[in-house]
Structure 1
Amino acid sequence: MSEEPTVSLVDVLEEDEELEEEASAVLGGSDSDHCSYPQGYVKRQALYACNTCTPKGGEAAGVCLACSYKCHEGHDLFELYTKRNFRCDCGNRKFAGLQCKLFPEKEDGNSLNKYSHNFFGVYCTCSRPYPDPDDQVEDEMIQCVVCEDWLHGRHLGCAVPDCVELQEMICDSCMNRNAVLRTYADHLAAPVQVKEETEAEEPKTKLPRKEEKDDDLTQPSLKRSCEEAEPSCKLKEMQTTGQKRVQSGAAFWPSGWRSKLCSCSTCEESLSGAGVSFLLDESDTVLAYESKGRNTEPTPQGRDPLMSALDRLNRVQQLDIIHGYNDMKSELKDFLQRFAEEGKVVTSDDIRQFFEQQQSRKRRRVDVEAFYCA
């Protein structure tokens, strides 16, 4: 007979804290009470797609966090994690018969929003749902920072490096659409090492031949003035080093790689024309968004189910509920404290027994009150 799985009180507390931290990271930067539509195209926010209101076969649409709570409660929602530069669609012409409860005065559509198959609950190049009940392979999904689709590690066209959580990924399709990214990948993306970059740049630091030195001496001031007037282009420098790897598949970029991209006027114009100028913005990253969420202090007006329920009761009922809740919380704390002091684990039978005792005490208390009232 196999023993019942057990967990320690420390395990329970650590798991609860981890879940709370993850929720704060993803949702903390988004407003859960007010529709984000008046803010325009929000730089980054938590988004959802409603399969009930905009099913597959119709037009793709996304709703903000607050609308997912207030306007689509009980609906079949797809969690999209976060998207950049998106304006809430809730209640516009894509939602036949549904009006946004939080901000009904909306235009018919948001022309600058970008949509993908994610809005219909499928992801990756394999266009499968997540979680996928038919997929028996354990595989992580990684988000591309350009198209923002989620892809299985086995469908990236390359091996996933270690410590991938510390890096950003650009999928093979986006790399192929933006050829300049391959040049940057040769110098910045994994698995390029600093030693390789140094060796490639060494010829530039060697002394020029005698003829070149004599030429420099003839017009030194002219050469310096040209260099000062025209800032060097990092991209051109990378292209002239000749460092090139045979590379295909997705590219993984280490922390801080965006700051190494060239921001000269020519490169900025090129990136803008390709629709990827956001790569120059280090605050565009999901990591920056999550950090903002973790550092956001919780507000008293948070969505607390207990407080929502209390709002619908009269004063006497509210006090009765609060006292009962505080008594149970105190007794549960004392009950668990004994396990912590003795170094024992808490089993499901222990928890079941605690609540059975609570229910028994409640019945006895009701019986006594009924006796004295009779």
Structure 2
Amino acid sequence: MSEEQTVSLVDVLEEDEELEEEASAVLAGSDSDHCSYPQGYVKRQALYACNTCTPKGGEAAGVCLACSYKCHEGHDLFELYTKRNFRCDCGNRKFTELQCKLYPEKEDVNTLNKYSQNFFGVYCTCGRPYPDPEDQVEDEMIQCVVCEDWLHGRHLGCLVPDCVELQEMICESCMNKNPFLWTYAAHLAVPGAAAQVKEETVTEEANTNLPKKEEKGDDVIQPSCKRSREEVGPSCRLNEFHAVGQKRVRSGAVFWPSAWRSKLCSCNACKESLSEAGLSFLLDESDTVLAYENKGKNNEQRQQRHDPLMSALDNLNRVQQLEIIHGYNDMKTELKDFLQRFAAEGKVVTPDDIRQFFEQQQSRKRQRVDAGRFYCT
């Protein structure tokens, strides 16, 4: 006979606090009161797709956090987490029967927005919804840095390394669309089950555009000719990696450690190539979801420091502050003792019990006030 699993009140509070932190990380980086459209193509923001207004078969569209609250309340929304370089579509031509309540003066279409299957509520290479009512396998979903689609861990073609929350992932499809990333992967990526690194001798023919190396120290390739540094120009880290000849099997998604972007080459040629491929954001470490989440957490902490209740408390004198603090601590202690009695007896706390507790609090407060009046002179 298996024991029934129980959850304590502390467990519930800790889980609730964790969910609040996650929500703050994602939502606090976006404005919940004003449409983001006037800001243009926002570097990164929380986005939603409305299945009620733009169902599958229509044009894909995304709305900002504020519009999801004010313009699409009660609608069937797909939470898209965050997307980069996106401008709010709410109320534009794609919404035939809805006008944006927060910023109605929008152009017909945002031509630079990029859309994916996510905007219709499907994800991964399997094209399934999340959560999937037909999928009984517990599996985390991980977002690709490049295409920003979400993929099941079991569909990545590799084992998911530990501490994945501190890393970034690029799916196999995006790696193959940008083959130069495999060169970086052989040197910078997190080793995985799909990573079989080997040393190969690079032929002269394969390196006609790369500087020859006479000696190698600290992964710096020295040119064989005697030209000055000015004539040679700045070195290209990608070419240096390529010249080493270290290869990685081109299979499966690739995970990258924190700060890996800082190790990418930023020479003019590489910058131009990244721009042409639409990957300039890879050189921007503030583009990462982690940087966005940290910004959201910091915003939330600043708002808490400016809480109206705390501001009101600051305006009271020390005696009044101490009275309020002591009153709060007394109520917290009494509430804890009250709930512990139910826990000890194995009883469920009902709304009537909570109501009775606060009625007793009010009764005690009135008694203290009356007693104070009695003894006043």
TM range (shorter): 0.7 to 0.9
Following TM superposition, by how much is the alpha carbon of 1:17 offset from its aligned partner in structure 2, in angstroms? 1.6
Q: How far 1:242 sits from its partner (Å)?
A: 0.8
Give the residue type in structure 2 aligned to 1:223. Answer: S
Could you say which residue in structure 1 is the equivalent of 2:235? 232
CA RMSD of aligned residues (A): 3.5
Contact 1:9–1:346 (8 Å) recurs in 2:
no
Q: Secondary structure at the match of 1:44?
A: strand
How do residues 111-190 of structure 1 correspond to structure 2 at under 5 angstroms? 111-190=111-190
**Segments ≥4 residues shifted beyond 4 Å:** 1-5, 200-203, 329-332, 339-348, 358-361
Distance 1:359 1:205, change over 3 A: closer
By how many angstroms is 1:97 displaced? 1.5
In the alignment, which residue of structure 1 is the partner of 2:336? 337
**1:9/1:345 contact within 8 Å kept:** no
One-letter code of the match for 2:114? K
Q: Does 1:223 align with 2:222?
A: no
Taking structure 2 as the reference length, the TM-score comes to: 0.76
**Alpha carbons 1:187, 1:197 under 8 Å: kept:** no
TM normalised by structure 1 equals 0.77
Q: Assess, with a 3 A threshold, how the Cα gap between structure 1 residues 191 and 360 changes in structure 2: closer, same or farther.
A: same
| Contact 1:339/1:345, CA 8 A, preserved across alignment | no
User: Aligned partner of 1:355: which letter?
Assistant: I
Question: Where does structure 1 lack aligned partners over 5 or more consecutive residues?
Answer: 207-211, 303-328, 365-374
Matched residue, 2:216: 204
More contact order relative to length (CA 8 Å, sep ≥ 6): 1
Q: Deviations over 1:300-345 (max 9, x none)?
A: 8x9xxxxxxxxxxxxxxxxxxxxxxxxxx99974553216888957
Structure 1 residue 15 displacement after superposition: 1.7
In structure 2, the residue matched to 1:318 is none
Q: How far apart are the structure 1 equivalents of 2:331 and 2:126? A: 48
Q: Which residue does 2:53 correspond to in 1?
A: 53
- 2:243 match: secondary structure: helix
Does 1:279 find its partner at 2:288?
no
Q: What is the Cα deviation at residue 223 of structure 1?
A: 3.0
Q: Deviations over 1:264-303 (max 9, x none)?
A: 0000010111111110100000000000001113648x9x
Give the match for residue 37 of structure 1.
Answer: 37
Against the structure 1 CA distance between its residues 54 and 224, is the aligned structure 2 distance closer, same or farther, given a 3 Å change threshold?
Answer: closer
Residue 268 of structure 2 corresponds to 265
Identical aligned residues as a percent: 72
CA drift of 1:90 comes to 0.2
Structure 2: state its 5+ residue gaps: 202-212, 307-327, 364-377
Equivalent residues, number? 322
Matches within 5 A, 1:319-338: 333-338=332-337
| 2:79 is the counterpart of 1:79 | yes
Aligned equivalents of 1:345, 1:232: Cα separation in 2:
71
Using the alignment, how far apart are the partners of 1:176 and 1:197 within structure 2? 19
Q: Deviations over 1:39-97 (max 9, x none)?
A: 00000000000000000000000000000000000000000000000000000010011
